[in-house]
Amino acid sequence: MLIVSLAIRDLFRDRFFLICNTAILVGVLVPLLLLFGVKNGVYTALLEEMLADPASLQIDTAGNTTFTEADVAPIRDWPGVAFVTPKVRSQFDYVNVRATEGRRLAAALMIPSGAGDPTLPAGVTLASDRLVVSSGLARQLNLSEGAPLQLITQAEDRPRQLVLEAQVAHVLPEQALSGRAVLAPFEVLDLIEAFYDAYSLPDHGIDGTKPLEQRVPRYGGVRVYAEHLEELAGLQARLEERLGVATLARTREVEGLLGLGRNLTLALGLTAALASVGLGAALGFAFWSDVARKKGVLASIALVGVPGRSLMLFPMVQAMITGLMGLVLSWMGYQLAGRIAQNLFGGGLPDGAALTLITPGQTMGIGVSVMALLLCVSAIAGWSVQRIDPATVLREVT
Amino acid sequence: MANMSLPCRSTCCPELTSAGLHMVDGRISLSGGGRRFEVHVPELQLDPGQALALTGASGSGKTLILEMLGLLRAPQDGTIYGVGNADLAALWQGGPRTPKLAEMRGRLFGFVPQSGGLLPFLTVRDNIALPQRVCGQPDPDWCASLIDRLGLGDQAGQYPASLSIGQRQRTAIARALSHRPRIVIADEPTSALDPASADQVLALFLETAAEQGAGVILSSHDLDRMDRHGIARRSLAVEAGPPVTSRLEAAPC
């Protein structure tokens, strides 16, 4: 297209104005990108640190209560719920664990778990004979994935111990679960509770005082995981209302972090809006004054038969090229400043976390926004160009 | 395009042909500061290959007539104006910024402004080729021929800023002829040149235009030079107002 080619040739011949306008863009965009990147980077690092511990999403009923399956089942269908598991009474959730080939015993907390539990890594499935252990327990008993182990339970006045044979399905990373713990399907914990309650467990060679068939399932509590941090507070309130019990969750901590994120986004948004107004005004007037300065040249183009509606593209094409150059240079400036900032201030962040972070989607959004702003402000200059009288060339002698 | 059959209002010319440029009862009116100024062209005919000079005192409206002829200024209602069979007066009915008006201006006319009007970011060669690109009819051979004819071979790759005034005017002339327009409009094309250069440039201009059959209409104060080059003259006579009226005198028979 002729007018595009003319606009480009004029722009690069008049490099001084291209450099000035690009410098204005870079001067505004680099600090904004850096602020945005730092806000994203630090906030994302804090969020990831929080999400690395699945307990941040957990809501746990406090103390021992009694629930039935009818109380718990509807909760599984609530929106925002990732995983629900009943719990046994708290005094029955400790067992002794021993590596089958080893001699050492370690007391460990039994935690009911299953598919959907955010504590379980993706792809790891539990069964009554395939359990997941915490890194602390694995270290103490020298357990690794695939190792056989035994859960040993001893109750008062019971001549025999309950010994459950199982295999290590997975060893959790340190930050996922602290202390000595075993993740097992609820049925395993239910079996141990039945043993404590003196029921007979013929499959495990245990003679009790009551037949197992007489046992009515009762839950000592319930543990719920929210899908996202944003749903934690609402879910906790709803759970307490539904079950009529107090619950424990890291709601204050989570809400504090989320509130910080919202406030930073708001402050940055206001800063960006003000900067956009200033940038738009500066470049708008720059493009306008530029076409006023080139009125004679533009009139010469119109004189040879280029219609006004094509001529108005002249400053708009130049604005788009200026914008692209400004964006590329700003991105390079941001990357450089980000690396310097990472070296200077990145030490306080969790390992591997970036101080500055802008995702590809955000990059695309910023680019489109800047180009749209430039298109709008250059359209004003374009409007003035299409009104230039080509007769100016004959009338005004330069 | 509407076929035009123009009525003859001239007592001197018995018939206006439609082969070249023709205007009958062309009028422009300007007003400002409580004063009105009118320019009246009772009739004007320019045949292909013919050259005509508009003469008159400064402020007599020569440039206004060139603007009206070059589709740069709207004539008043009642003006009959055409080139060949094209009714150019009717083009203004859609307003001053229609693409059709710009397209016809670009296709039918070539312009040689007093200032040259060259684009500073294009080389001499690209400036000359510009009207061809606007019309969508690139013809590099013709451009090369014009460059050669007007003695611009050494400057073809240079930018206007590095040219002398004479070289700029020769470039402007080549540009005005490059798309083979029917009419070339030149506003005092040699006024910035020294006398020797002015004669040389004007001679080249007229020869080149005549070779391709383009009509040339120009404005000038230099009556002797017009006569030396055999250019027919039509002068503008200003009558006191109000309104002050500048009238193009009848063609000599």
* ipTM reported for the complex, 2 dp: 0.89
**Residue A13: closest C-alpha in chain B:** B121
Pairing of strands A247-248, B86-87: unpaired
Q: Which residues, other chains included, contact A122 with Cβ-Cβ below 8 Å and sequence gap of 6+?
A: none
Tens digit of pLDDT for each residue in A79-92? 999 999 988 887 77
What confidence tier does A196 reach under pLDDT thresholds 50, 70, 90? confident
Whether B215 is in a domain gets the answer yes
Tens digit of pLDDT for each residue in A107-122? 999 899 888 888 888 8
The answer to whether the Cβ–Cβ distance between A387 and B97 falls below 8 Å is: yes
Together in a domain, A46 and A62? no
Q: Which two tokens stand for residue B219?
A: 């404005």
Question: In this structure, what CATH number is given to the domain that contains residue B64?
Answer: 3.40.50.300
- Name the helix (H) or strand (E) containing A393: helix A392-395
What confidence tier does A176 reach under pLDDT thresholds 50, 70, 90? confident
What confidence tier does A396 reach under pLDDT thresholds 50, 70, 90? low
Task: Count the neighbouring beta carbons within 10 Å of the beta carbon of residue A32.
Answer: 19
What is the C-alpha separation between B234 and B90, in angstroms, rounded? 26
**For residue B27, pLDDT beyond 60:** yes
> What distances in angstroms separate CA A319 from CA A7, A19, A182, A312, one per listed residue?
10, 12, 63, 12
CB-based contact (8 Å) between B67 and chain A? yes
CB-based contact (8 Å) between B205 and chain A? no
Q: How far is CA A318 from the centre of its chain?
A: 39
Whether B8 is in a domain gets the answer no
The answer to whether the Cβ–Cβ distance between A393 and B107 falls below 8 Å is: no
Residue keyed to tokens 């451009």: B143
According to DSSP, the residues that pair with A99 across neighbouring strands are: A149
Query: Which backbone phi and psi does A321 adopt, to 5 degrees?
Result: -70, -40
- Which residue range is the domain that position B187 belongs to? 48-72+98-234
CB-based contact (8 Å) between B103 and chain A? yes
Share of chain B above pLDDT 90, in %: 52
Domain end position, chosen among A249, A273, A297 = A249
Domain end position, chosen among A249, A267, A302 = A249
The answer to whether the Cβ–Cβ distance between B111 and A304 falls below 8 Å is: yes
Yes or no: say if A184 and A149 are a contact pair by the CB < 8 Å rule.
no
Q: Please tell me the total count of domains within chain B.
A: 1
**Least CB–CB distance from B121: residue in A10, A386, A389:** A10
Average pLDDT for B79-105:
90
Q: Which two tokens stand for residue A295?
A: 């009125």
- pLDDT of B1 reads 36
CB-based contact (8 Å) between A320 and chain B? no
CB-based contact (8 Å) between B133 and chain A? yes
Mapping DSSP onto H, E and C, the string for A141-167 reads HCCCCCCEEEEEECCCCCCCCEEEEEE
- pLDDT of B116 reads 86
Q: Which two tokens stand for residue A36?
A: 């945005």
Q: Please tell me the total count of domains within chain A.
A: 2
Together in a domain, A118 and A221? yes
**For residue B15, pLDDT beyond 70:** no
The answer to whether the Cβ–Cβ distance between A393 and B113 falls below 8 Å is: yes
Share of chain A above pLDDT 90, in %: 60
Yes or no: say if A97 and A137 are a contact pair by the CB < 8 Å rule.
yes
Tens digit of pLDDT for each residue in B70-82? 999 999 988 999 9
Q: Which two tokens stand for residue B217?
A: 């209409």
Together in a domain, A339 and A287? yes
Together in a domain, A263 and A390? yes
Q: Which two tokens stand for residue A346?
A: 């990145």
* DSSP class of B87: E
What is the C-alpha separation between A301 and B120, in angstroms, rounded? 11
The answer to whether the Cβ–Cβ distance between A394 and B107 falls below 8 Å is: no
The answer to whether the Cβ–Cβ distance between B130 and A304 falls below 8 Å is: yes
- pLDDT of B17 reads 44
The answer to whether the Cβ–Cβ distance between A304 and B106 falls below 8 Å is: yes
Average pLDDT for A163-180:
89
Residue keyed to tokens 């969508």: B136
* DSSP class of B252: P
Q: How far off is chain A from B15, nearest CA to CA, in Å? A: 31
What confidence tier does A344 reach under pLDDT thresholds 50, 70, 90? confident
